[in-house]
Structure 1
Amino acid sequence: MSKNFEIRREVVLNATPEDVFAAVTTGTGGWMFPTELDPGVGSEGPDDPAVIAWEPPQKFAVRQEGPDGWFNALEYLIEARDGGTAVLRYVHSGIFTDDWDAQYDGADKHTTFYLHSLGQYVRYFAGRAATYIATGGPAASADPGAMITLRGALGLSDTSTAGDTVTVDVPGFGTVDGVVDYLTPHFIGIRTADALYRFYGRNAFGGTVDAAHHLFAAGADQEKSQDAWTSWLDDVFA
């Protein structure tokens, strides 16, 4: 049975409205998956949602519609604040079908993590394009305790917190030396001087533990990097 939903957030970002607007409307792949979007109302983006608001740098909105009244809509309202910061008011609305509670819970928690990643991007990597890699964990990572296993593989413990440093060796990719910038039971974020590493505990929402990383180093090899992280996740959950 379908049911409407609405997810709202208000976050303060250490960036100008111009930087925030650029980050959410250009396909840099710096904080979420890359997108291709022509500027202006009426243009189309990923999966053909229509741009319904384009008012740089204050407002951006897209809406996708389907049969039987289905829709999915995103709205970004951006306002300058003192000290070179900006406040973002974000609304994600639409219709979920099937297991509404699980889908809403997953989308709600993902929203918080995505917007945190946006904040990290505009603060540390604003305007930089990323080599984006994404990989799903093996079937074993769907286990309820999979995120505990992942924490151990990353050198994190029950007492670890955001701000801790980590070192992870990934065969075929290299050594990751970074700081934990996000840590909850469902998500882990690690920031280095040239990357944002993101881990998603989608096992809590019927999926697997997945990874999506944003590599800002010049010349990053997308295929080689993705293969290395896929193998690493396979080994973690072997």
Structure 2
Amino acid sequence: MPVKKDPSGRRSVEAEVEVPGSPEQVWDAIATGPGISSWFVPSQVEEGVGGTVKAQFGIGDSVSKITEWNPPHKFVATSQDLGENAAAVATEWIVEARDGGTCVVRVVHSWFADTDQWDKDFEGHEHGWREFFRILRFYLTHFRGQHGSLLQVIPMLPEPKDTAWAALMGAIGLPLSPKVGQRIASSKGAPSFSGIVEHVGESAYPESLFVRLDEPAPGLAHLFAMAMGGSVFLIVRLYLFGEKPAATVAREEPAWKAHLASLAETVKDGKMQK
């Protein structure tokens, strides 16, 4: 997702994905709080121009103001995610209908700058959007029209990332190198977790795993590791559906938090402890 530079000083990056569903169904998924929360992160949306979008990533919130609202085709929201003294970032969400009952969803980030200071950060968004778009496609394929609940736990360990990832997999009881199509399940004493592996991390980002869940409820799990500032954030996200997903999250989340609270004890000086 290379940065495009205009003579005016405008810079932009974009990503897109083709997903099943009508424009109205896709709009519900990308432009309403319950819809966004079902595949992205917990979010609240005050719909319409002048409203706000608040996305809770677990390691910080992003708040933006809606400047354009044209359902079910496009909305634009502007934020100060680069900092109060930096350029504002406009994010466009565009939905284009295609033949065969699908739509293309396009996200465009744009900002004005006369330096390359933030270019690498935005170029790095490509991997993040690729991961989230995979979840969006899964959601619209299997749970379209449903609003699920997210179970999110984010323990933190010191670098290196591969050691921290191995600690997480070991704590849950999951294989370190699972195969697509393999059925996996948590070990005895770990929180309820079982399903079929849908996708594993690519060579550039190996610490990532997608699982189509049947326990603790129908849904999708996305587990990945992200290094930042000398630490590794281990993100565990379970997008749960089925009957009363919010109640399932309320029941299961304390067990996940308690089980992973002692994860740091398994790693010392970047090495696994026996």
Normalising by structure 2, report the TM-score: 0.71
Q: Which residue of 2 aligns with 1:218?
A: 243
Alignment of 1:1-238 (within 5 A): 6-28=12-34, 29-46=37-54, 48-65=63-80, 67-94=84-111, 100=118, 103-104=121-122, 106-140=124-158, 142-145=159-162, 146-151=164-169, 153-157=173-177, 160-169=178-187, 171=189, 173-184=191-202, 185-193=206-214, 194-203=218-227, 206=230, 207-219=232-244, 220-234=247-261, 238=266
* TM-aligned CA distance change 1:100 to 1:232, over 3 Å: farther
Q: In 2, distance between residues paired with 1:176 and 1:102?
A: 37
Percent identity among equivalent residues? 26
Q: Do the aligned residues in 2 keep the contact of 1:42 with 1:52 (CA within 8 Å)?
A: yes
Normalising by structure 1, report the TM-score: 0.81
Shift in Å at residue 192 of structure 1? 2.0
Shift in Å at residue 48 of structure 1? 4.3
Larger Rg: 2
Q: Runs of at least 4 residues of structure 1 off by over 6 A?
A: none
Q: Do the aligned residues in 2 keep the contact of 1:165 with 1:179 (CA within 8 Å)?
A: yes
| Gap runs ≥5 in structure 1 | none
SS in 1 for 2:227: helix
Q: In 1, distance between residues paired with 2:136 and 2:108?
A: 15
* AA at the equivalent of 2:236: A
Q: In 1, distance between residues paired with 2:63 and 2:75?
A: 16
* AA at the equivalent of 2:181: G
Greater fraction of residues in helix: 1
Aligned residues: 233
* AA at the equivalent of 1:216: F
| Gap runs ≥5 in structure 2 | 1-9, 55-61, 267-274
Shift in Å at residue 12 of structure 1? 0.9
- Kindly provide the CA deviation profile for residues 46-97 of structure 1, in whole angstroms up to 9, marking residues without a partner as x: 1542112222221122112463343233211111111111111211345899
* TM-aligned CA distance change 1:63 to 1:233, over 3 Å: same
SS in 2 for 1:217: coil
Q: In 1, distance between residues paired with 2:25 and 2:188?
A: 32
Q: Do the aligned residues in 2 keep the contact of 1:138 with 1:233 (CA within 8 Å)?
A: no
Shift in Å at residue 27 of structure 1? 1.6
